Amino acid sequence: MICRQDISDRRIEARLLALTSLIVLSGFLLVAAGLRVRLVQNPPAWTSAFLFPIVFSVVFFSIHLLLRMRRVTHEQVLLPLTALVCGIGLITVYRLLGSAGVWQQLGRGLLPGLLVVAALILRPNSVEKIRRLAIPLSVVGLALSFATAFFGIVDETGARLALKIGPLPPMQTSEVLKIALIIFLAWFIEREGREVAGRARPAGWLRLPAVRYFIPAGLFVSMGTIALVQMADFGAVIILGVIFFGMIYAGFETRIFTPIALTGLVLALLVGVVLFLTWELPTVIRFRFLAFLDPWSEMMLTIGGEPIGVTVSQGPGYQIQQGIYGIIAGGLTGTGLGLGTPEYIPLAHSDFIFAAILEEMGFVIGVPILIVFVAILLRLLRLAAVLPEEQAFERLLLTGIAIHLFTQLLIMVGGTLNLIPVTGVTIPFLSLGGMALLINISEIGIAIALVRRLEMTSA
Amino acid sequence: MNDLFSFNSLLFGAKWVFVGLIYSVLLLVVVAVRREMSLRLGAGKVLPSTAPGSLRILARGTDPKASPGDLLPLGPVTRLGASSNNELVLQDDFISAHHARLRWDGASWWVEDLGSTNGTFVDDGQCVPHHPHPLPAGGRLRLGDRVFELVE
pLDDT at A312: 47
CA–CA gap between residue A142 and residue A146 (Å, rounded): 6
Q: CA dihedral in degrees (A263, A266, A272, A273; nearest 10)?
A: -150
Size of chain A, expressed as the number of residues it contains: 459
What residues in B contact A336, CB-CB < 8 Å?
Answer: 11-12, 15
DSSP result, A410-447:
HHHHHHHTTSS-----PPTTTS--SHHHHHHHHHHHHH
Q: Given this model, what pLDDT does residue A310 score?
A: 46
Q: Does A39 touch chain B (CB under 8 A)?
A: no
The beta-carbon neighbor of B18 closest among A23, A371, A458 is: A23
CA-nearest of A351, A442, A340 to A127 is: A442
Choose, out of B5, B7, B11, the residue to mutate when testing the contact with A (most A CBs < 10 Å). Answer: B11
Q: Is residue A303 helix, strand or coil?
A: strand
d(CA B139, CA B108): 12
Chain B: residue whose CA lies nearest to A10: B32
CB contact under 8 A, B28 and A19: yes
Most confident of A405-419, A422-436, B13-27: A405-419
Q: Which residues pair with B135 in a beta bridge?
A: B109
- Cα dihedral across residues B45, B48, B52, B56: positive or negative: positive
Please give the model's pTM, rounded to 2 decimal places: 0.78
pLDDT at A405 over 90: yes
What pLDDT sits at residue A390? 81
| Dihedral in degrees, nearest 10, Cα atoms A261, A395, A88, A239 | 20
* Residue B24 contacts A where some CB pair is shorter than 8 Å: yes
Sequential DSSP letters for A319-379: HHHHHHHHHHHHTTT-S-TTTS-GGGSTTTTTTTHHHHHHHHH-HHHHHHHHHHHHHHHHH
Instruction: State mean pLDDT over A448-459.
Output: 83
Residues near B36 by Cβ (< 8 Å), separated by ≥ 6?
A: none
Residues in chain B closer than 8 A to A430 (CB atoms) = none
Instruction: Decide if A33 and B7 are in contact by the 8 Å CB cutoff.
Output: yes
How confident is the model at residue A183, as a pLDDT? 94
> pLDDT tens for residues A56-93?
999 999 999 999 988 888 888 999 999 999 999 999 99
Sign of the alpha-carbon dihedral angle for A338, A341, A344, A345? negative
CB atoms within 10 A of CB A321: 20
Q: What pLDDT is recorded for position A66?
A: 93
Distinct helix (H) and strand (E) counts, chain A: 17, 7
Most confident among A18-27, A191-200, B38-47 (mean pLDDT): A18-27
Chosen for mutation from A4, A11, A86, A389 (greatest number of chain B CBs closer than 10 Å) is A4
pLDDT at position A14, please?
93
A residues 355..394 contacting B (CB < 8 A): 361, 364-365, 368, 371-372, 375, 386, 388
Q: Which residues contact B90 (CB under 8 A, 6 or more apart)?
A: B61, B63, B80, B81, B82, B99, B143, B144, B146
Distance CA A219, CA A231 (A): 18
Q: How far apart are CA B110 and CA A154, in angstroms?
A: 60
Distances (CA, A) of A368 to A67, A76, A305, B21, B78: 26, 19, 45, 11, 42
What does each C-alpha distance from A93 to A28, A106, A416, A442 come to in angstroms? 10, 11, 17, 21
Q: Work out the average pLDDT over A422-433.
A: 88
- Is residue A236 a contact partner of residue A228, using CB atoms and an 8 Å limit? yes
Q: What are phi and psi of A297, to 5 degrees?
A: -60, 140
Taking the C-alpha atoms of residue B149 and residue B152, their distance in angstroms, rounded to an integer, is 10
Question: What pLDDT is recorded for position A37?
Answer: 86
Query: Which residues of chain B are under the pLDDT cut of 50?
Result: 1, 41-47
Separation CA A309–CA A109 (nearest Å): 27
A5 pLDDT higher than 60: no
Å between B31 CA and nearest CA of chain A = 9
B37 interface with A at CB cutoff 8 Å:
no
Lowest mean pLDDT among A313-322, A359-368, A394-403: A313-322
Residue A298: CB atoms within 10 Å? 10
CA nearest to A21 within chain B:
B21
Cα–Cα dist A371/B29, whole Å: 11
pLDDT of residue A15: 93
Q: What is the pLDDT of residue A127?
A: 86
Determine contact: B125 vs chain A, CB below 8 A: yes
Q: Is the pLDDT of residue A430 over 60?
A: yes
E strand or H helix that includes residue A171: strand A171-172
Beta-bridge partners for B80: B88, B100
Percent of chain A's residues with pLDDT above 70: 91
- Comparing CB atoms, the residue among B25, B106, B127 nearest residue A458 is B127
Strand B146-151: give its sheet, edge to edge.
Answer: B71-73, B54-59, B146-151, B140-143, B120-122, B125-126
The three-class DSSP label of residue A87 is helix
User: Which residues on adjacent β-strands are paired with residue B72?
Assistant: B55
Contact criterion met (CB below 8 Å) for A444 and A79:
yes
How far, in Å, CA of A117 to CA of B144, rounded?
38
Note the pLDDT tens digit of each residue in A205-245: 888 888 888 888 888 988 998 888 888 788 888 999 999 99
Is the Cβ pair B21, A26 closer than 8 Å?
A: yes
**Which range scores top for mean pLDDT: A111-120, A428-437, B95-104?**
A111-120
Q: Which distant-in-sequence residues (6+ apart) come within 8 Å of B127 by Cβ?
A: A458, B100, B111, B112, B113, B119, B120, B121, B133
Task: Say if the Cβ atoms of A23 and B21 lie within 8 Å.
Answer: yes
pLDDT higher at A299 or A414: A414
In the sheet with A160-163, reading across from the earlier edge strand, the strands are: A153-154, A160-163, A171-172
* pLDDT at residue B3 in the model: 56
CB contact under 8 Å between B32 and A27, yes or no, is: no
Over 60: is that where the pLDDT of A459 sits? no
* A159: pLDDT strictly greater than 70: no
The distance from CA B44 to its chain's CA centroid, rounded to whole angstroms, is 13
Tell whether B22 is within 8 A of chain A (Cβ): yes
E strand spans, chain B: 54-59, 71-73, 77-81, 88-89, 100-104, 109-113, 120-122, 125-126, 133-135, 140-143, 146-151
Burial profile A200-236: b = 16 or more Cβ within 10 angstroms, e = fewer: beeeeeebbbeeebbeebbebbebbbebbbbbbbbbb
Q: How many CA atoms lie within 13 A of A22 on its CB side?
A: 16
Q: What is the pLDDT of residue A161?
A: 72
